[in-house]
Amino acid sequence: MEVRVGQGFDVHAFTDDPDRQLILGGVNFAGERALAGHSDADVIAHSICDALLGATGLGDLGTLFPDDDPHWAGVDSLALLADVVQRVQDDGWSIGNVDCTVVCERPKLAPRRTEIEDRLRATVGEPVSVKASTAEKLGALGRTEGIACLAVAVVTR
């Protein structure tokens, strides 16, 4: 059996655009500042996509879903993740698990962590763990200028 590990990273700045919603792991955080981006800017889904693509050597998120293509404007990132999962499976890989660390000062993820993990597990088809950490008020993330996420995925064939 072949085992591979991939890592993914994504970061988005906050926006004051009143027409955007903050989406993290497919969950809407109503009343929170949204993230700027071409899609819905879901940093968790994006980092998982790149972790899976990296583990399987199938490219990267920006190549598959370019941010200059109007087709992907405002797209639900769980749809992108579902597409990536299908590509991974079509290439003969099985997903073992995914682990994510979200770095942000706000919103607090702990009260909604189970909901986020359930949405991601439903899309990925395997366990997805989500942890939250702060930047201890250091740098752009610590100044609440945005949110970042790191993900690691294990795949087997």
DSSP collapsed to 3 states, the chain: CCEEEEEEEEEEEEECCCCCCCEECCEECCCCCEECCCCCCCHHHHHHHHHHHHHHCCCCHHHHCCCCCHHHCCCCHHHHHHHHHHHHHHCCCEEEEEEEEEECCCCCCHHHHHHHHHHHHHHHCCCEEEEEECCCCCHHHHCCCEEEEEEEEEEEC
At 54 the pLDDT is 97
Give this prediction's pTM. Answer: 0.96
At 71 the pLDDT is 85
CATH number of 3-156: 3.30.1330.50
At 6 the pLDDT is 98
Could you tell me the mean pLDDT of each successive run of 10 residues in the chain, 157 residues long? 97 96 97 95 98 97 89 90 98 98 96 98 98 94 96 98
Domain boundaries, the chain: 3-156
